């Protein structure tokens, strides 16, 4: 599926140490490693040009037009369709970088040795962060979902996914689903999907540990699509209604609480087991909650309600704030890939994913810039535990990448930007007199954008 403009670069460099610090070669090799380690980027819309850009700059990309046919009667004119694409603004708010020092004692090694020792793991780290950021966009697709959190994937749920994608008119020839490790294990336990005569091949896809195509969807496993495990700080209570509640209900009477819960907290209700936002409360302690988007499955009296205890933002934040979000009041650290938002309202434009490899009780990094201001002590509301696999069409998401400016020529730094398949990375090489070694910095500037929320589906398990 991938094509490389520069795939021959590994074959043109020998062991001569004089070639070891040519930035063009490092950038070429880095780009190859990057593409080899990305799971999401090759399967979504990409926008790249050679125009130099800066962090935070707004770039314009396009959302492809959706066309509908018209019927023509005799002696009538044809209907002219608008084929223009919609302009979409994307902020270049993702500046991924890794910088490392190659000590003088290491600098005599061959180019190939230096690449294997230093560049490969560095670029793999950048690829991991890009995948984490792109996968975090899935929480903007919460309206479209199948399955239940805590319930293993089975044939019926995957059939439901096919049905949901058909209802959304997602083209059948380009459907993908990125699944967690746990979800992959669940699928591989379904006999219908491990028998060669049903798969229509010799069974080689599953034998080689790739999931392959099932019911028209190409399933991909990514270690960057993390299961949100149990262990979060929670409050539990129960539904208080003899008759239970039907699909679509949003007002739920509850009991069993000795304290008031926080408005805006996310919860799950046994029997429904989809993420529900508590947008309003009654009583102290709480005796009723209003949830959004509402029950997708009926629940019975005394069904367990699990509320994920929020933390708080430590310090006011402005719209478009970037970088670390300082938090407090968490007794257990949130998890990489976990849903988080900062509002009592159910607003998918302001849902985020946590993207740092190791979140803490005092610090989280989001998948993109803040969409709105946040007051000090605002609730930091984390989402439920479970597997959030993501199915999509390539036009659901976009990654927009632009090259970073090269350093001035009189600074002594050597730098190169190399681009391929919608991505461009910069490598800058200089000597660090303090560290007594060669500093290599690899960086990439990009932004993510949901293009069409009707072209993606969350698969809960």
Instruction: Output the DSSP codes for 211-228.
Output: -EEETTEEEEE-TTS--B
Q: Where are the domains of the chain?
A: 37-64+86-169+396-461, 234-308
User: In this predicted structure, which of 75-79, 111-115, 336-340 has the lowest mean pLDDT?
Assistant: 75-79
Tell me the three state secondary structure of residue 165.
helix
pLDDT of residue 70: 54
To the nearest 10°, report the CA torsion of 107, 108, 114, 118.
-30
What pLDDT band is residue 394 in, cutting at 50, 70 and 90? very high
pTM for this entry: 0.86
- How much is the mean pLDDT over the chain? 86
Q: Which pLDDT belongs to residue 412?
A: 81
Q: How far apart are CA 169 and CA 155, in angstroms?
A: 21
pLDDT in the model for residue 71: 60
Instruction: List, for residues 68-96, the tens digit of each pLDDT value.
Output: 555 656 766 666 555 556 778 888 999 99
- Return all residues near 268 (Cβ < 8 A) that are at least 6 apart: 149, 150, 274, 275, 276, 305, 306, 384
- Sorted by sequence, the CB contacts under 8 Å of residue 69 that are 6+ apart come out as none
Residue 2 has pLDDT above 90, yes or no: no
Q: Could you tell me the fold of the domain covering 234-308?
A: Thrombin, subunit H (2.40.10)
> To 5 degrees, how large is the angle CA 7–CA 10–CA 12?
105
Encode burial over 195-213: b for 16+ CB neighbours within 10 A, e otherwise: eeeebeeeeebbeeeebbe
Lowest mean pLDDT among 159-163, 210-214, 288-292: 210-214
Measuring CA to CA, which residue among 330, 85, 105, 371 is closest to residue 231? 330
């Amino acid at each position: 599926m991938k094509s490389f403009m520069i795939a021959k670069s590994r074959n043109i460099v020998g062991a001569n140490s004089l070639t070891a610090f040519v930035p063009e070669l490092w950038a070429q090799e880095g780009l190859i490693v990057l593409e080899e380690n990305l799971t999401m980027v090759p399967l979504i819309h990409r926008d790249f040009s050679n125009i130099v850009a800066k962090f935070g700059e707004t770039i314009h990309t396009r959302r492809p037009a959706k066309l509908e046919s018209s019927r023509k009667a005799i002696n009538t004119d044809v209907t002219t369709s608008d084929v223009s694409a919609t302009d979409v603004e994307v902020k270049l708010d993702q500046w991924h970088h890794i910088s490392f020092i190659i000590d003088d004692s290491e600098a005599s090694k061959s180019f190939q040795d230096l690449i294997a020792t230093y560049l490969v793991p560095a670029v793999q780290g950048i690829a991991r962060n890009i995948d984490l950021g792109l996968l975090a966009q899935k929480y903007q697709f919460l309206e479209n979902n199948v399955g239940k959190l805590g319930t293993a994937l089975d044939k019926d749920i995957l059939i439901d996914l096919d049905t949901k994608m058909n209802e959304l008119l997602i083209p059948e020839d380009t459907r993908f689903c990125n699944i967690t490790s746990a979800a992959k294990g669940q699928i591989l336990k379904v006999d219908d999907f491990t028998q060669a005569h049903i798969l229509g091949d010799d069974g080689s896809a599953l034998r080689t540990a790739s999931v392959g195509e099932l019911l028209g969807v190409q399933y991909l496993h990514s270690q960057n699509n993390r299961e949100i495990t149990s262990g979060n700080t929670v409050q539990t209570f129960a539904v208080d209604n003899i008759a239970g509640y039907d699909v679509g209900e949003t007002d739920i009477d509850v009991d069993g609480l000795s304290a008031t819960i926080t408005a805006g907290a996310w919860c799950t209700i046994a029997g429904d087991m989809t993420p529900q936002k508590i947008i309003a409360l009654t009583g102290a302690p709480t005796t009723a909650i209003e949830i959004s988007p509402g029950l997708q499955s009926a629940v019975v009296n005394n069904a367990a309600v699990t509320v994920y205890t929020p933390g708080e933002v430590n310090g006011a934040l402005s719209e478009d704030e970037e970088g670390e979000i300082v938090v407090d009041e968490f007794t257990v650290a949130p998890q990489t890939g976990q849903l988080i938002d900062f509002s009592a309202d159910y607003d998918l434009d302001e849902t985020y994913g946590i993207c740092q490899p190791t979140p803490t009780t005092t610090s989280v990094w989001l998948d993109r810039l803040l969409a709105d201001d946040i007051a000090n002590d605002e609730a930091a509301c984390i989402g439920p535990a479970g597997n959030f696999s993501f199915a999509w069409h390539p036009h659901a998401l976009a990654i927009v990448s632009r090259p970073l400016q090269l350093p001035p020529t009189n600074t002594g730094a050597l730098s190169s930007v190399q681009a391929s398949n919608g991505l461009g990375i910069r490598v800058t090489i200089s000597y660090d007199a303090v560290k007594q070694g060669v500093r290599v910095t690899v960086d990439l500037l990009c932004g993510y954008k949901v293009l069409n929320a009707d072209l993606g589906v969350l698969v809960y398990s």
